[in-house]
Structure formats: C-alpha cells, structure tokens
Structure 1
Amino acid sequence: MLAATDLTEDSEPALRAAFEVAGAFGGNVIAVHVAAADAGPEALVRARRDLQSQVHRVRESASGRPPTTEIVVAGEPPLSILGAAEEHRADLIVIGTHGRIGRLRGLIGSVAEQVVRLARCAVLTVHGPS
C-alpha cells in the first residue's frame, strides 16, 4: 500500500492508518512525499530525511509496524502519487483530507480529490486533525 504525506502533522493520521491496515493484513507500506517539481538536490535530501523521521515517529506510535519503504519524488503531487502507486503496484493509496466546509475540493483537499478521482486502485481517505 502507498501512503502519501506532505510531511505535516495533518498527514500523520493517514500514515498511522496505513501502518495499522498493513500490519493487520501482513502488507507493507510505501511512504511517499512529493517535493516541488523544481526542488534541487539539497531539498530532496532534506525531504528524504524529514520523511524518514516522520515515518519512524508515526510508526513507533502505531499498533502495526509493517515493513516500510520511503520514497521522495519531485513533481506535481496528484500525478506523482498516482505514478508511484502504479510503479509500486499498490492496491491501496492512503491519503489525508482537510475537512473544511465547501465543495468537494474544500472538503478533502485538491490533491486528495484528484487522487480519489483518478486512481486505478482503492483509495482510503483519512480525516486530519484540522
């Protein structure tokens, strides 16, 4: 399964849910962060370090601790998440939502909305704290 994170606290419930689902079903988690398309090498190294730190912190607090791989890609978030899911043959994408009032885009966030709409596999959306 693929768990998308923007490295903020708001994305941690989705990451935690991915660990718990994968742990319950004997799966593994591919944690992916999408950096800006024009991110330089230093920004990508920093993003990888931040992703590893977030994964370690959230994984330790989750009830499931499945095998995990971290990847950082540069590009447009929805397309990069979908591309990573296809490349790694994910059967489930886990992504956080915003929970704001308004249209669908406002309710779940434009990235999550596009992933839900375009994914070729199941998508689990997890409501964030804000």
Structure 2
Amino acid sequence: MERDLYKKILIATDGSENGAQAISAGMEIARLSQGKVYALYVIDDTCYPAGKSDPRLKTAMEEHFKTFGLEMTAAVEEAAKAAGVDVEFVIREGHPAEKILSFAEKHAVDMIVVGSLGKTDAERFLLGSVSEKVVRNAEVPVLVVHGKRQ
C-alpha cells in the first residue's frame, strides 16, 4: 500500500552501530511508503587540527574522512537494494547538525532518521549531541534510533 506521508527520507549516517540501526529503520520506512532515501554523511570539519598544523596532515585527514564517507554510503546502497528503495548519496563537509538540517530544508524531506551516539549526560553537556540538535531544530519529524542495550 502506497503512503504519501514519508516520500523523501533523509538518513544521516556516521558509521556507528546506532547509525547502522538508523539505516535499517529508515529503509523500512522508505520501503513501506515507497519513498526515496537520501543517504547523507557529513565530514565534521570542526575536528581538523588548527590552521597552524601541517597542511599535509589536514589533507590526509580530509581524504580519510571522504573515503570513510564513501564506505558509509556503500552500506546504505546495499540496504537500499535489499529493500528495493531508490537512494541518492550525498557527502557534505561542515558541522553535522547544521548540514543535516540545511539539506533537509533544501530538499524538502518528509522525515530525518539519525542514530543516537548514546553520550553520557556530561558528554552531551560539553559536546552537544548531533541528534539532539537535529530534533530540536528540524521542521519535520525526526526518528532517533538507539542501539541495542548491552
């Protein structure tokens, strides 16, 4: 049965176990609604060394993150094929929450699916949480997928 509610789903992936669970959940929603998935991986450029550092190190880190992003989108491609879902891969660079939110707005997605990193209260206070920022600022429903409890 075709549903119009969630036709464009953004799955933000980060390579974590919870990110893998988010891929599965997002694909199932897309399969049921016969929707399209955007698989987004954001290279967090806030973790690069300061500008005074060796530029070769920064270039090496950028290449590493881009390669990792391609690996993550490949995982989404496998899940999309298995679910029979149309998927478009996107890699962006910047602050993850900001890039997720701006992509969602620009492409008028109907739902955002993200994994939770499961940070402690202290980590969340000090570092913030990408999923928390997305939930707080998104204009569409956000599904935050938690991993299995140990």
- With the shorter chain as reference, the TM-score category is 0.7 to 0.9
Runs of 4 or more above 4 Å deviation: 38-41
Which 5+ residue runs of structure 1 have no aligned equivalent? Answer: none
Identity fraction in percent: 33
- Give the Cα separation in 2 of the matches to 1:82 and 1:73: 12
1:121 aligns with 2:140: yes
1:66 aligns with 2:74: no
1:52 equivalent among 70, 73, 89: 73
Query: Given the superposition, is the C-alpha separation of residues 47 and 101 from structure 1 closer, same or farther in structure 2, using an over 3 Å criterion?
Result: closer
Alpha-carbon offset, residue 35 of structure 1: 0.2
Aligned residue for 2:114, secondary structure, equals: strand
Alpha-carbon offset, residue 101 of structure 1: 5.5
Q: What's the RMSD between the two structures over aligned residues?
A: 2.5
The answer on whether the counterparts of 1:13 and 1:127 sit within 8 Å (CA) in structure 2 is: yes
What's the TM-score, normalizing by structure 2?
Answer: 0.71
Query: Given the superposition, is the C-alpha separation of residues 100 and 47 from structure 1 closer, same or farther in structure 2, using an over 3 Å criterion?
Result: closer
Aligned residue for 1:129, secondary structure, equals: coil
27-36 vs 1-10, which moves further: 1-10
The answer on whether the counterparts of 1:34 and 1:76 sit within 8 Å (CA) in structure 2 is: yes
Alpha-carbon offset, residue 54 of structure 1: 1.6
Aligned residue for 1:35, secondary structure, equals: strand
- Give the Cα separation in 2 of the matches to 1:124 and 1:36: 21
1:78 aligns with 2:97: yes
1:14 aligns with 2:22: yes
Query: Given the superposition, is the C-alpha separation of residues 102 and 52 from structure 1 closer, same or farther in structure 2, using an over 3 Å criterion?
Result: closer
Query: Given the superposition, is the C-alpha separation of residues 98 and 129 from structure 1 closer, same or farther in structure 2, using an over 3 Å criterion?
Result: farther
45-54 vs 85-94, which moves further: 45-54
Structure having the higher Rg:
2
Alpha-carbon offset, residue 65 of structure 1: 2.8
Aligned length: 125
Which 5+ residue runs of structure 2 have no aligned equivalent? Answer: 1-8, 49-57
The answer on whether the counterparts of 1:95 and 1:126 sit within 8 Å (CA) in structure 2 is: yes
